[in-house]
Structure 1
Amino acid sequence: MGASETYRRFDPWRTSPVREESRSQIVESHYFNVDRVALSSPQVGQFERYIVTENDGDTVGVLAMTDDGMIPFIEQYRIPTHRWTLEIPAGHATGPDDKPLDVARRKLREEAGFEASHFAQFTRFINTPSFSTQHTALFYATGLTPVARSGFGPETPRSDVRMLSLDDAYRMAVNGTIVDAKSIIAVLRLYSAPDHVIEEA
């Protein structure tokens, strides 16, 4: 068997090796809930896990690009890590009828101060599969028009927008200046395969 071969094809939906015995919700919020889940398996017996379940669909991020090749990043103060981050505009649904594209349009306008004539979803990923159901859908937005910004959270009442070229954003992702996962994924995805992303858009 060669180094690139495996004993079987990868199947993400094959039979689960554990059995869920019970589940109870212990935290409820507008954004996510937390469940205590009891599980068992023949190998290890019974055990518990705490699972964060996302409400109202995917988190959404927007990698937007102006006609002259600049990408807006938002300066955000993040309370859990007590630090400032540079992030692409992002957010989540405010209700079950709020679709990912609606979120993308709203967050680009509120956080970055742009409207876009075209959006295309170019990737989707699981944020932390070890303890959360959270998925993030990333959109590529073009045909930008400046508009007034309107959305400011209590953590960062007047967050600044920094316009970066793709080359600069790539360097900042690689050297650790940009540490936000969705922003790194978006930048590396565009940098490594720009033609594929642009074709989708």
Structure 2
Amino acid sequence: MKELIEKTIATEQVFNGRMIDLQIDTVSLPNGATATREIIRHPGAVAILAITADKKMIFVEQYRKPIDRVIFEIPAGKIDAGEIEHLLTAQRELEEETAYRAANWQLLTALYTAPGFADEIIHIYEARGLARQEAPLAMDVDEFLNVHTLTLTEAKALIGEGKIVDAKTVYAIQHFELNYNNY
């Protein structure tokens, strides 16, 4: 078996932002040569597959500047500084974005969004036993979205129409479809 590990020789911090940091690492390759790696550091995020009593999923529709379009996603958000318990982040994000609270929570998985250049990990939770609150928690001041409840058929149609294009949401829909009879 070939050695696959790259060893970091040097790190240059290029940018420190509100949401991400960018660094360039010089690495020693398994064959002894050197290369550079551009790495985005991210604090992590949560996402929520929220399932209603009538077996629908909750989605948010919002504009995403990096891809310059409006898309549908499951509720999600960045883990804020000091938030150790990811479940608490998920509970906060669900209520902030949708005005729902959930009685039952289960961690489904954690996945890396783009391990070729970023360390962002998203912890995906399933939330059931939903109750809509009078009003959502204060949403981020730069966040604008619409909330939708969709059936599996409607969600899959949005994938086909190119309105659901992110991996966390496609994963959640697939999980829902594979476990639909268990809900």
Deviates more, 1:86-95 or 1:28-37: 28-37
Letter in 1 for 2:51: M
2:125 is matched with 139
Match of 1:121 among 98, 101, 107: 107
1:39-188 to 2 correspondence within 5 Å? Answer: 39-41=27-29, 43=31, 45-55=33-43, 58-147=44-133, 148-157=135-144, 159-188=145-174
User: Are the aligned partners of 1:77 and 1:155 in contact in 2 as well (CA < 8 Å)?
Assistant: no
Residue 15 of structure 1 and its aligned partner are, at CA, apart by 5.2
1:5 is matched with none
Task: Quote the Cα distance in structure 1 between the aligned partners of 2:6 and 2:124.
Answer: 31
Flag the structure with larger Rg: 1
User: Are the aligned partners of 1:173 and 1:187 in contact in 2 as well (CA < 8 Å)?
Assistant: no
| Alignment: residue pair count | 182
Deviates more, 1:170-179 or 1:43-52: 170-179
Match of 1:28 among 11, 16, 21: 16
Residue 174 of structure 1 and its aligned partner are, at CA, apart by 4.3
User: Are the aligned partners of 2:4 and 2:30 in contact in 1 as well (CA < 8 Å)?
Assistant: no
1:17 is matched with 5
Residue 175 of structure 1 and its aligned partner are, at CA, apart by 4.4
User: Are the aligned partners of 1:121 and 1:137 in contact in 2 as well (CA < 8 Å)?
Assistant: yes
Residue 66 of structure 1 and its aligned partner are, at CA, apart by 1.0
DSSP-derived class of the 1:123 partner: strand
Task: Quote the Cα distance in structure 2 between the aligned partners of 1:19 and 1:164.
Answer: 46
Q: Deviations over 1:27-51 (max 9, x none)?
A: 1123221111001225372211111
Q: Deviations over 1:120-153 (max 9, x none)?
A: 0111111101001111111000010001123444
Structure 1 unaligned regions, length at least 5: 1-7, 9-13
User: Are the aligned partners of 1:23 and 1:38 in contact in 2 as well (CA < 8 Å)?
Assistant: yes
RMSD between superposed Cα atoms in Å:
2.2
TM-score (norm 2): 0.88
Structure 2 unaligned regions, length at least 5: none
DSSP-derived class of the 2:174 partner: helix
Residue 167 of structure 1 and its aligned partner are, at CA, apart by 2.6
